[in-house]
Structures are given as structure tokens and as C-alpha cells.
Structure 1
Amino acid sequence: MRQPLRYPWVNFDVDEVAAPAIAVRVDVTETKAEVAAHWHRKGQLVVALGGGVTCRVPSGLWMVPPHCGVWIPGSMEHSNIATANARIFFVYIEPGAADLPDRCCTLSISPLLRELIIELADRVEEDEARDELLTTILLSELPRMPVQQLHLPISSEPRLQRIAEALAQDPADRSTLAEWASRVALSESSLARLVVKETGLSFGRWRQQLHLIVAIRELAAGASVQQVSGDLGYGSVTAFITMFKKALGKPPAKYLASVAHNGGSAFVA
């Protein structure tokens, strides 16, 4: 039997609330906050207006930079990690209340949708008619948001999970494909084929995707480009910026500024 959802960010069981959508504001303190794997019947939209949130689901790792959202369908197991001083909104949506994807995905969040979420979460007094109107508009706007992607595919294959966990712990690890193959008792060519088969990416592209997720999370939390570059093991800031720009079309500062200004539309697949 499912236990009621209880954790520091939401002190009630969201599945017991009958409304088609509810919004909750979370202001994280000076230390990062983590919620262990859990699930609930309602779907969940995770929106960050400051700092960053990383959502992990069985099939991958999803990053929520400022002014973007990650949609997690109902009954999907997930965990959330927020950076220090993050400003987050959770929107819990009844199954079938809106025409939303049945898979985890990143959504652009328009300025209108952002303000609707803030208004629902921060309302001072109950006004049933007004809340119903705001919810109706939110549920009609949300399915119109473009689906974007910035996530790390994670395989259930034990050897790849071992590599993924090691790189998540130490993203600066620059071990070669041959070195990783030796650690998991595979030939270099066998590991290369396995990564492509399980994730759809080459090993180099897969590791780069992890670096992008970590970089955006840390930059959104206020870390400098120099600090992030060093933490990811890049030999120079220029090399890091070149990688970032090639992958996302803009250098870090301009990318984050455009995401904040455009409500998430700076994402590229």
C-alpha cells in the first residue's frame, strides 16, 4: 500500500486533494535539498524560477534550469535534488485533467503560465471561483508548451548504471572509453556498442550530456564559469565554453539569460 507523501517541501498528501491542479511554492535554504525516490497518483510539473532542480526517473536524469519545467507523469517513481537557495514551484495535476505526455519530458514555460503558477501557489486567501478560473487557464495553456529535451538517458543495464553513478559522483573523471571498459570487464568496442544500444548516444556524447546537466545546475545556482569548468575537469575555461556553445548554441551566460527571458525556449534537443 502506498504511503502518504511526506517530506519537508510538501507537508500533506497531494493525492488527497480533490482539485484538478494545485501549486506549491518551495524556497530551499542555504544547503541543497534532496527527496528520495517516491511516487504519487497525480502528475507533477517541477518549475524552477531560481537555482536548479535535478529530477531522476528510472529512464533518465532531467535538469530543470530557471524558467523551465519538467513533467513527471502520475505514478512514475522519481526523486528530486534542488540546489541551495533554489526557488521552486510544484504543480500537481490529476490524471486526465490536461492533455499532457505520458512520458517524462522538459517543457518550455511561457511568462503567462509562469505567472499563473505563481498566483495559484502564493494566493493569500481562498477564492474558489478565482482559483477555478486560474486552474482552467493553466490546464489549457500547459499542453501548448513546446516539448524540449535536456536529459541524460540512464540504462537499467548494470554495467552502464555503474558508470553513470561513478560519473555523477565525479563528473571530472576523464577516464577513456578503454579504461571504463576495463573496469566493467568489457572490450572497448563492446562497451561502445552497449552505450549506443542502451542510450542512443556515443559514449563521448553521453558523458557530455551529463556535463551539460551538471553545468547548468551549478551555473543556475550561482557558480562561476571558471568554477564549473574546473569541477568538470576541463583544461581551460575556453574549452568548456566551446563545448557548451557547440551543444546549446550559446555560451553559458547568454544561454541562461535567454532561458530566463524567453521562458525556457532556449532549449535545444
Structure 2
Amino acid sequence: MTRIVLPGFDLDPDQTDRPAVASRLQVADHDAEIPVHEHRKGQLILALHGAVTCQVERALWIVPPQCGVWIPGGMPHSNRATANARLCYLFVEPGAAALPRHCVTLSMSPMVREMILHLADAPLDYPRGGHTDRLARVLLDELVQMPAERVYLPISHHPKVRALADALSANPADRSTITQWARRLALGERTLTRLIAHETGLSFGRWRQQLHLLVAIRELAGGAPVQRVSESLGYESVTAFITMFKKALGLSPTRYFAARSQHHPAGDPQRR
């Protein structure tokens, strides 16, 4: 597996046995995409601004502003951030916290976010038993309490389903029906319907809507206006797009992102 030198770290975080270490970065100063790699430690990718997509086996995760995606240690993954993203990486020593053994997007409270940012200013080899060590352990206790958000897309290695996913990712505005996709993929409609449900756990309509939701969050977090995102996803009107977004996340796009910008972390580099 490829070894990645992470920006913001003077040393490989896997080489320290501290319960948790962190670093922050602005994507504009580094590569926006990190190829497939893995870590010994578990990793939380926290988006302070902008968004990140993280691909692991059989799923694509989106990290909206003020959320973090948790990736267990030893799990291969790749990351792609919007150009305006400001991120924070948190690495957790195996066994230091009762965090999930699967990927999950967590909504970060202002307190947990501030604790991560404070840890990002500390050296990787902070003294055991000292203030930073105690803060790291309290942070991990709080982190396991953070609520999960369903902002991921199940994907598949099956060649037919993967071809469909690649085509819709390249052109999310494509509104072809399941009958038309079955014809393109040289499958019967019932066969394709069953295959998608088996491989993703969702119907074709729900799966495509979830893809649209992830694309919308990524583009809106990157600064694109609602009307442009609506058009790029093939919606007949902005109202129809907003209705889909609100039904999925409980808020309109404007209110969703406004709610995530109400509490700017004191350690956010933009405020320095």
C-alpha cells in the first residue's frame, strides 16, 4: 500500500503512540487529492470549510463543513477536497477510543471541534500525563458521542453497477430511466433492478438521489450557487432541487450551510 506524507505533519503520525494527534491544513496550499493509502491509526478528517469526499471499499463518503469522516485504521481510502477546503486531520491510536470499526460521517460539536484544533497546535510527542495528554483523552471520550450523518453513497465492484455509477458520476444530469439503463448495459430491467438493490441496498431511484445529494453538498460547499447545482443535476426547477435536498437533510441548502457556519472555530486559520 502507498505511503503518504501528509501535509501539516513533520513526522508520520503512525510513528507516535500518543492516544491522539492532529494537524490542520488549507487545501489551496497542497494537493486537493490524495491517492489510495492507509494508516495504522484511525483517522478523522474534519472539514472546517469546504468539503471532502472520501472513497473506501464499496462506499463514497462526503464530509460537509463542520463534520468529520471517521476511517478505521488499516482501511485503504482516498481523499478529494474542494479547492476552498480547510481541513484538520485527527489520528487515533488503536484501542484508545470506542470508535466504530466502519466508516461513518460524524457531526462535530463546537467543543469537540475546538479541542481538535487545540490538539493540532501541540507537538506530536507531547508529554504523557500532561495537559495535552489529558485533553486528548477527554476529546476521545467526547468524540464517541458525536451523532452520525447519512451522507454516503454505497458503490459496488460489480462491473455493470460500477459502469452505471461511473456514468452517472460523470454526468449526474442524466435522467435516463432504469429501462434505458438496462438496455445500455445489455441487461433485463428486472435483472438490473435486483442487481442494484443487492449491491447497494437501495432502489435505483434512491441510489441516484443519494448520488445527487453528495454531489450537491460537495458543489455547494465549494461555493457554487444553488441554481447552477440544480441545473448540473438535471432538475427541472430550483424548487424541485431544494425539495429533494430538504427531504433528505431536513433543511434547505441555504439553511443547511448557514447552520454550519454559525460557529466558526477560534483556531480556524481564516480568522488569524
Q: TM-score, normalised by structure 2?
A: 0.90
1:70 Cα deviation after fit: 0.8
Decide whether the 8 Å contact of 1:47 with 1:68 is kept in 2.
yes
How far, CA to CA, are the matches of 2:139 and 2:25 in structure 1?
A: 19
Cα RMSD after superposing both structures: 2.1
Q: For 1:9 and 1:51, locate their aligned partners in 2 and report how far apart those are by CA, in whole Å.
A: 18
1:55 counterpart residue number: 54
Distance 1:3 1:206 in 2: 31
Aligned to 1:185: 186
The 10-residue stretch of structure 1 (228-237 or 83-92) with the greater mean CA deviation from structure 2: 228-237
Report the secondary structure of 2:35's partner residue: strand
Q: Are 1:140 and 2:138 an aligned pair?
A: no
Inter-partner Cα distance in structure 2 for 1:94 and 1:125: 12
Deviation, structure 1 residue 185:
1.4
State the percentage of identical aligned residues: 55
In the alignment, what sits opposite 1:46?
45
Q: Distance in 1 between matches of 2:141 and 2:161?
A: 40
Equivalences for residues 87-236 of structure 1 within 5 A: 87-123=86-122, 128=127, 129-236=130-237
Distance 1:146 1:126 in 2: 30
Q: Partner of 1:266 in structure 2?
A: none
The amino acid across from 2:102 in the alignment is: R
The answer as to whether partners of 1:31 and 1:85 remain within 8 angstroms in 2 is no
The whole-number CA distance in structure 2 between the counterparts of 1:111 and 1:236 is 35
Higher mean C-alpha displacement, 237-246 vs 84-93: 237-246
Paired residues of 2:3 and 2:38 also in contact (CA < 8 A): no
Quote the offset at 1:82 in angstroms: 0.2
Partner of 1:40, secondary structure, is: coil
Kindly provide the CA deviation profile for residues 139-161 of structure 1, in whole angstroms up to 9, marking residues without a partner as x: 11111112222110012211111
Tell me the residue number matched to 2:71: 72
**Judging changes above 3 Å, is the alpha-carbon distance between structure 1 residues 95 and 127 closer, same or farther for their aligned structure 2 residues?**
closer
CA positional deviation for 1:222: 1.1
Equivalent AA in structure 1 for residue 254 of structure 2: A
Check conservation: 1:5, 1:14, Cα contact below 8 A: no
Amino acid at match of 1:187: G
Question: Residues of 2 paired with 1:186 and 1:246: CA distance?
Answer: 32
How far 1:244 moved relative to its partner? 1.1
CA contact under 8 A between 1:70 and 1:106: conserved in structure 2? yes
1:17 is displaced (CA, Å) by 2.1
Q: 2:157 aligns to what SS in structure 1?
A: coil
In the alignment, the residues of structure 1 paired with residue 240 and residue 31 of structure 2 have an alpha-carbon distance, to the nearest angstrom, of 28
- Residues 69-110 of structure 1: per-residue CA shift (max 9 Å, x gap): 111000001000000120111101111110000001111211
TM superposition shift of 1:31? 8.9
TM-aligned CA distance change 1:250 to 1:47, over 3 Å:
same
Shift of 1:220: 1.1
Closer/same/farther in 2, CA of residues 254 and 103 from structure 1, 3 Å limit:
same
What's the offset of the Cα at 1:261?
4.2
Question: Are 1:243 and 2:238 matched, yes or no?
Answer: no
Worse-superposed segment, 84-93 or 243-252? 243-252
In the alignment, is the contact (CA less than 8 A) between 2:2 and 2:36 conserved in 1? no
Instruction: Tell me, in whole angstroms, the C-alpha distance in 2 between the residues paired with 1:124 and 1:203.
Output: 48
Paired letter, 2:211: L
2:26 is matched with 27
Change (3 A) 1:91 1:233: same
Q: Which runs of 5+ in 2 are unaligned?
A: 265-272
User: Hey, what's the Cα distance between the residues in 2 that align with 1:51 and 1:133?
Assistant: 30
The aligned amino acid for 2:158 is E
Amino acid at match of 2:166: E
